[in-house]
Structures are given as structure tokens and as C-alpha cells.
Amino acid sequence: MSDKPLIDALVATLKAAPAVTAIAGQRIHGAAPRLPTYPCVVVTRTENRPVGENDAVEHLLTVTCASRFGGPEEARALVAAVRAALHDARPALSGRRLVTLRVPYADVFAGADRETTLGVVRVRAVTENP
């Protein structure tokens, strides 16, 4: 099972969320852009595994929020907006039925370059055949 339909649905959900776009504009990506413009939101990691019965699949995704504001405030606000937009969201998926979508973890920290503040939002979704 490919994660692409779920990634596309998450990106569409975030692009439709006013609190997210107020900070990141439309700089919300399903894969890392070659030359990012900040602040931005990127789905940076995905994994999936079968769970239970009914052809259910658990998807674990990491959404990274990056800011070069000069402090953690912008990254914190972006993480909060992303978390609020995704937790319990019900985006339509192509070819699968979304059972649950949760945000169990989020964190903000300084990047190794000391110029970028990063936020990570971990997303857990379960899908099954329609």
C-alpha cells in the first residue's frame, strides 16, 4: 500500500487550513523541495504496516515544520496549527477508507545549523479497503 494518497490528503488538508496558511502560505509539500523557502511544512518520513483484520494499514508519518524566524515562536505556532488541522481530521482518500487520524506527538527544537528552528508532528493514521 502506497502512502501517496494519504500524503496528498494531508497536504490538501493543511493547504485548506487558514491557521497553517497564515504562517506557511502554500509552502506545504508532500516531499522535500530542492530549494525550500521558509517557513514551510514537509512530509519527511512515512512508514506503514498491516494491523488487525479487514486489510487495515497503520501509517506513521512525520510532518516537519521549518522556520528561520530567529527564534522558536514561528515554529511553535506552525506546529500548533498543523496539529490542530490534522488531529481527528477526516480527509477523503483515494482508494482507501480512513478509520482514524491522530497526532500523538509534537516537538520544537533548534536545527543543527543554528539558523533553523524545526518542529516535528507525528501523525498516526489507520486506513482500510472501502
pLDDT, tens only, 13-37: 999 999 999 999 999 999 999 999 9
- Region 58-65: mean pLDDT is 97
| pLDDT, mean over the chain | 95
In a domain, 106, yes or no: no
127 inside domain: no
What is the grid cell recorded at 84?
Answer: 490542530
* Residues 91, 97, 102: CA angle, nearest 5 degrees: 55
Gyration radius of the chain over CA positions = 15
Sheet of strand 117-128, all strands in order from the earlier edge strand to the far edge: 28-29, 40-51, 56-67, 117-128, 97-110
73-89 pLDDT tens trace = 999 999 999 999 999 99
- Please tell me the distance from the alpha carbon of residue 10 to that of residue 28, in angstroms, as a whole number: 10
As a whole number, mean pLDDT of residues 52-68 equals 93
Q: Residue 82 domain-assigned?
A: yes
For position 1, what pLDDT does the model report? 58
Task: Give the count of domains, the chain.
Answer: 1
> Is residue 61 a part of any domain in this protein?
yes
Longest dimension (CA), the chain: 48
Whether 107 is covered by a domain: the verdict is no
At residue 40, the pLDDT reads 98
pLDDT score, position 101 = 97
Tell which wins on pLDDT, 92 or 14: 14
Instruction: Say if CB 74 and CB 39 are below 8 A apart.
Output: yes
User: Does any domain span residue 93?
Assistant: yes
Residues 36-52: tens digit of each pLDDT = 999 999 999 999 999 98
